[in-house]
Structure 1
């Protein structure tokens, strides 16, 4: 199979879909790898590093014209979506629920689109989302701590305080992978940490994990309102796989919060879990609403591109090898967990939460695969 990895073009996105090591694995399996010139520079991998393992360096037009499978990190931007065609496979993060424009373009392309964030695992969970959730959870505390500085508009607080001065109060909404990693970083920095979740099992696990150093609270609207009134830093870490994030903090609640408090919305890729959230970039990450500082960068792990890229490739490469070795249709038919990642195929939505979020019809992956033509595009 001919696999293409373009350079990411989203603002301040430095990750890359394939490391030189991943390219080498694909080539060892007998596949051809095309890398856009300069694609790996953000992780310190120059074109020579890819050429050394047998990859071909090319321009973006040639890459999209020749590749049977396109491997990326972030959702394709409009100019990239216009290059996709029927017979191609797109393997990347998509986060379609809050993005009808992208959904419409991918349906029109006829490409087979597999979203990292909805691929499942035999033991449960989302294994291709997990590494970036780990990174984002940890970064959320770094970013929040920086935003709390007075020069950034925050309350002027050190997260861990100092002897004789109380630490900052950190509220983490959601006890999943993002929330646990955020709590771990916040505890390590000496903050006063509370995690809210609606699963008793999750709350018990967190209590055991942190040996009582983290407060656990069953999440209700009342509990959330009470805790945010005195919070210095709020981390939104709620995920409903494939679906739009629920809006848990309304604008009216901001009036009761401490001036200069910081909210970090890690769920912004799925539309955000604060009513006042809107996507930002690493170039301009924060804004203020009613005296509350918002950090809503939609590609947080891109800020630590090398760590993130290698963590992501560790998770995505095994599935990519199966796609390349078997062909995408056979790979999807053989693996129900990879099949759960199929979001768009044959011009149809194949992920129910995406369809529900946008009020569109959908078809099961099994139905669309029965008639899917995955013939490769002609080489150019």
Structure 2
């Protein structure tokens, strides 16, 4: 199979879908890799590095899209990209379709087979291709919060960990999954006072044991959420409902009761965000203020550390990518975890949560493939 690696075009996105090390694996398995020139520039991988790994380097994205049987990316295709996809071509990348009807329509019209990293599952019911970027984003959320808390950035002028004799920042993490756990670990490590809210008692017990009392845990009710958010200096939105838009847990009205200069970091922004006042921002202009509260809502947070992120992502995606390259759509038929990742197939929407969110007709994956 011919595997295509276009250069990412989203604003300040420096990651790459296939690293030179992963190229070698595809080549060893008997496939051809077509990489757009400078595709790996963001991680310091020059074209010559890709050539030495066995890739064919081409001058334009158009050549990659025209010649490849499978496109492997990082971020969801932009309008200039989805119009280049064609029927029968496999797209393997993050999609986050629920809050993005235009992309969904574009992919449906293309006739491609689109497999979303964020909905591929594993034998334990986890999301193995989402997890590495959630780890990165969780850790980065605390770095972002620390920067936004500075007075020069519009924040309260508060140091996350405080100093001896001065109270540290209060950090509230909404959601105790992968993002929330890594955010809590970073914040606690810096000396902040950390509370994690979640609706799963078993998960709260796990976190209590994991952090050995260094992090408070609290069952998430409306009352608990309000109490914690109103007293927080930093609120991290780390809520995930696979495949669907994130629930709006913090309303505009609640902002009126928050501390002036406090900071919201909405890691769920890829799925529409879990704060009512969130809208996607970029690394070029990451924050904005609503009612005196600083919002950080960058939709591709791990893109800020592309070297770490690209290698972490490729470690997770490579086995699935190789299976797709070896078997094509047959891999989706045979592997239920890849089948869970199938969102679109030849003009049919095959992920029910997305179909429900966008009010588009749903086709079960098995039926769509058979048709």
1:29 counterpart = 2:24: no
Q: How does 1:54-69 map to 2 (within 5 A)?
A: 54-58=54-58, 59-69=60-70
Q: Distance in 2 between matches of 1:229 and 1:25?
A: 51
Q: Distance in 1 between matches of 2:178 and 2:303?
A: 18
Deviation at 1:361, TM superposition (A): 1.0
Q: Distance in 1 between matches of 2:61 and 2:13?
A: 17
- SS of the counterpart of 1:52? helix
Q: Distance in 1 between matches of 2:345 and 2:35?
A: 25
Task: Give the paired residue count.
Answer: 370
Task: Point out where structure 2 has 5 or more consecutive residues left out of the alignment.
Answer: none
Aligned to 2:92: 91
Q: How does 1:1-380 map to 2 (within 5 A)?
A: 1-58=1-58, 59-327=60-328, 329-371=329-371
Let me know the Cα RMSD of the aligned residues. Answer: 0.5
Q: Distance in 2 between matches of 1:289 and 1:313?
A: 37
Could you state the TM-score of these two structures normalised by the residue count of structure 1? 0.97
- SS of the counterpart of 1:279? coil
Deviation at 1:259, TM superposition (A): 0.1
- SS of the counterpart of 1:143? helix
Deviation at 1:281, TM superposition (A): 0.2
Deviant stretches of 4+, over 2 Å: none
Could you state the TM-score of these two structures normalised by the residue count of structure 2? 0.99
Deviation at 1:124, TM superposition (A): 1.5
For residues 150-177 of structure 1, the C-alpha deviation after alignment (integer angstroms, 9 at most, x for no partner) is 0000000000000000000000000000
- SS of the counterpart of 1:235? strand
Deviation at 1:62, TM superposition (A): 1.1
Q: Distance in 2 between matches of 1:227 and 1:74?
A: 33
Q: Distance in 2 between matches of 1:226 and 1:326?
A: 53
- SS of the counterpart of 2:282? coil
Q: Distance in 2 between matches of 1:61 and 1:175?
A: 42
Deviation at 1:346, TM superposition (A): 1.4
Task: Point out where structure 1 has 5 or more consecutive residues left out of the alignment.
Answer: 372-380
Q: Distance in 2 between matches of 1:361 and 1:198?
A: 31
Deviation at 1:307, TM superposition (A): 0.1
- SS of the counterpart of 2:305? helix
Q: Distance in 2 between matches of 1:60 and 1:195?
A: 43
